[in-house]
Amino acid sequence: MTNAKTRIDETVNANDVVLYMKGTKEMPQCGFSSRVAGVLNYMGVNYVDVNVLADDEIRQGIKDYSDWPTIPQLYVKGEFVGGCDIITEMTLSGELDTLFEQNGVSYDKDAADKIREANA
């Protein structure tokens, strides 16, 4: 277990934005992972994707690490942000923009606005 925790620690602290997901950003393996990856991809966010299906230790380890039962999980600057529902809400409310701005994460503001317009 320590191994998984250490690996997760290193990944979330070495990268500005990390998405623990089922599948990859190019080929998500579940609808929730696909939705979050889709938002990040569309907004042009540079992020690291970790496929939990490829590693059982990480798949369980990430749930213990965040004390959050579901995948996907988004981390920004080492902090757990949330899963699919939270990220969706934050995208639509503009909170995700603010979080990225506060943490110096570049993203496409026009794309973020388009997501909100499409879901208004």
Q: DSSP label at 53? A: G
pLDDT, tens digit (0-9, with 9 covering 90-100), for 82-118:
999 999 999 999 999 999 999 999 999 999 999 999 9
d(CA 91, CA 96) in angstroms, rounded, equals 5
Specify the pTM. 0.96
84 marked ligand binding residue: no
- CB atoms under 10 Å from CB of 106, counted, come to 12
Q: What are the residue ranges spanned by the domains of the chain? A: 2-118
CATH number of 2-118: 3.40.30.10
Tokens (6 digits) for 15: 């990268």
Question: Is the previous residue joined to 69 through a cis bond, with omega within 30 degrees of 0?
Answer: no
Contacts 24+ apart (CB under 8 A), 101-110: 103/16, 103/76, 103/77, 104/16, 105/16, 105/17, 105/45, 105/46, 105/76, 105/77, 106/44, 106/45, 106/46, 107/43, 107/44, 107/45, 108/42, 108/43, 108/44
pLDDT number for residue 120: 83
pLDDT, tens digit (0-9, with 9 covering 90-100), for 22-32:
999 999 999 99
- pLDDT above 90 (res 1): no
